[in-house]
Structure 1
């Protein structure tokens, strides 16, 4: 049995920042995610980390993979990721990564790594490393996803978990209802990640009979996911295929009708750039951002100036979900990740029995 675990948050503790954690156990050294952002310019500081045995990727969003170009400074270790993550990337380091199962167990550097689907995004997984006496790392997680499965994780001695929303507990169903009511009054532009909530949105709005159009990036991701039906909830492949058949292609000069869904989520790239510029000037459609408003990117400035609105669509755990997670894992030590100190304090007050640490390190 592996003993003597040490987990250090290189980045991702005390801030909504890039995921990067160093786990040392049994003589092995693993990096868990190597991200960039979401705020502009945020990257992990790997000074002094030294060579590691492997990099394990929880999912393919930039704040978890965007700094993989730093891997040579870690000794150029092998990267492990799930098949959907590898299929959806344009990063050759990730495209040729070693397999991490969606649900199963592998050995990495002599450590047992168990995985299960984590909702949130295509191919996202939680990881238990070192068995019941080891670490449960959630990456980003959402049990409310209607497209990406989320399996309850097993017990572990230590837990590093997605606490992005702090103690907020608004259910996704209420948020969807709010957006549906808004869409009934005027056309909406929803900048969203194609490899995330954007596809869920398209399915949900189309199911309510609203005219929906989606950008080429969303169509591309949907088509690739149809090749990985095991990464979707039961019936998810049929829902995706139906959405593709029943929604329109979106372009920069499309008429402002119904619900328009375009990458990318902060309006700094993709088709969303052109459509935001157009609608912010003409008022043909209301611009609604539904995720983290990253500092230094257009979304935050547009909302602050009143030219767009914010209405959350949950892709991270709400409070009741975190309580359920703690019940499944039953950790002796827990670290709240991807959350600012004030929200972390709210979470600690709301879950007083969760053994949260106030420092970026765990030893057990």
Structure 2
């Protein structure tokens, strides 16, 4: 029996993540992403029939569509990710690192290096299907676990052909720290490692610093996890930051992103470090806000390295444009392994070499 992969959303551009894997008579949904932009609706969930859903992490473009699906669908996620589910939504635990059976299919998870409670997913069917969700090799705080081999790799390509190391990003941010700044960030993602880094920089420059209470709470939640679920050597720094009071008149403020706008922070400059909505792109073009990336996704060479590590023979870069020069760049990097079709079919007797077919 063939395995079919249906990329409902997230192929060809930055958008909600929603992928159905149909195998052994079962249909599993990998992530249930919501709209990235305020006021937008999602279209992938209409009439969807699946046996279970697996959520990689709690960011809106991976979990925000759960409310659009029937509550009778079994949902699997880690306990920390469950905190972001709609109130009273039933769920079953995914291990932070380990394996379980879901609808008769072995699912293995590991740390994805991106966010608190976030995992990658590996399905043990037809040579292996690996889905990274959002992933990063460069986090100072979150580890990335080596996954099992997989014939098919569905990988976080959010950064396209961008390939600058994290150290370059830190140097660029350092040049902007001598003025009052507000940095809005996802509270379970880069917020935690940025809190550590910014507190060190603030001390070095003798600048008053503050972080949102919810970011502080999430740092405490991270510290309460088994020590192998965070990078080694940082526990004392996390503990010290948790004991430290936020300054009453800070020059640097790390805040949970609540769609902050410049008029909400009249005495500060907003510095964004991640994805910009169209509204924020307009603010950046008008000089109303600043932007400097902090790496939280796989950069291009790391995506290729992960595909190599998996020994994948078909690779789908997700959440990235796949036209024009962008497509040419992926073709050059991945060669015959590159798949850009919205539906893939894997035959058991040929798993191990490229078997992707376009389904119209």
TM range (shorter): 0.7 to 0.9
Once residues 15 and 117 of structure 1 are traced to their aligned partners in structure 2, the CA distance between those partners, rounded to angstroms, is: 25
SS for the counterpart of 2:176 is helix
Q: CA deviation at 1:131?
A: 4.8
The answer to whether 1:351 aligns with 2:336 is no
Q: Is the 8 A contact 1:34 1:44 kept in 2?
A: no
Q: How many correspondences in the alignment?
A: 339
Q: Which structure 2 residues correspond to residues 1-364 of structure 1 after superposition, within 5 A?
A: 3-40=1-38, 41-50=40-49, 52-72=50-70, 76-86=72-82, 88-89=83-84, 91-92=86-87, 96-131=90-125, 133-183=127-177, 185-208=178-201, 209=203, 210=205, 211-230=208-227, 231-246=229-244, 248=246, 255=249, 257-264=250-257, 267-268=258-259, 272=260, 276-279=262-265, 282=266, 284-295=267-278, 297=279, 299-342=280-323, 344-353=326-335, 355-364=337-346
Once residues 76 and 14 of structure 1 are traced to their aligned partners in structure 2, the CA distance between those partners, rounded to angstroms, is: 31
Q: CA deviation at 1:226?
A: 2.7
Task: Give the TM-score taking structure 2 as reference length.
Answer: 0.88
Once residues 223 and 64 of structure 1 are traced to their aligned partners in structure 2, the CA distance between those partners, rounded to angstroms, is: 24
For structure 1, list consecutive stretches of 5 or more residues without a partner in the other structure.
none
Once residues 332 and 244 of structure 2 are traced to their aligned partners in structure 1, the CA distance between those partners, rounded to angstroms, is: 43
Q: Is the 8 A contact 2:12 2:318 kept in 1?
A: yes
SS for the counterpart of 2:337 is coil
- RMSD, matched Cα: 2.1
Once residues 96 and 67 of structure 2 are traced to their aligned partners in structure 1, the CA distance between those partners, rounded to angstroms, is: 24
Once residues 91 and 149 of structure 2 are traced to their aligned partners in structure 1, the CA distance between those partners, rounded to angstroms, is: 28
Once residues 322 and 42 of structure 1 are traced to their aligned partners in structure 2, the CA distance between those partners, rounded to angstroms, is: 30
SS for the counterpart of 2:330 is helix
Deviations 1:235-270 (A, max 9, x none): 444332222223516xxxx53x33211111xx52xx
Q: CA deviation at 1:346?
A: 4.9
Once residues 7 and 42 of structure 1 are traced to their aligned partners in structure 2, the CA distance between those partners, rounded to angstroms, is: 23
Q: CA deviation at 1:285?
A: 2.5
Q: Is the 8 A contact 1:22 1:30 kept in 2?
A: yes
Q: CA deviation at 1:48?
A: 4.5
Q: Is the 8 A contact 2:66 2:85 kept in 1?
A: no
Deviations 1:248-307 (A, max 9, x none): 16xxxx53x33211111xx52xxx45xx4243xx4x332111100023x4x333212211
Task: Give the TM-score taking structure 1 as reference length.
Answer: 0.87
Q: CA deviation at 1:349?
A: 3.9
SS for the counterpart of 2:281 is helix
The farther-off stretch of 197-206 and 215-224 is 215-224
Once residues 200 and 288 of structure 2 are traced to their aligned partners in structure 1, the CA distance between those partners, rounded to angstroms, is: 28
Deviations 1:99-118 (A, max 9, x none): 11111110000001011110
SS for the counterpart of 2:69 is helix
Q: CA deviation at 1:158?
A: 0.7
Q: Is the 8 A contact 1:160 1:334 kept in 2?
A: yes
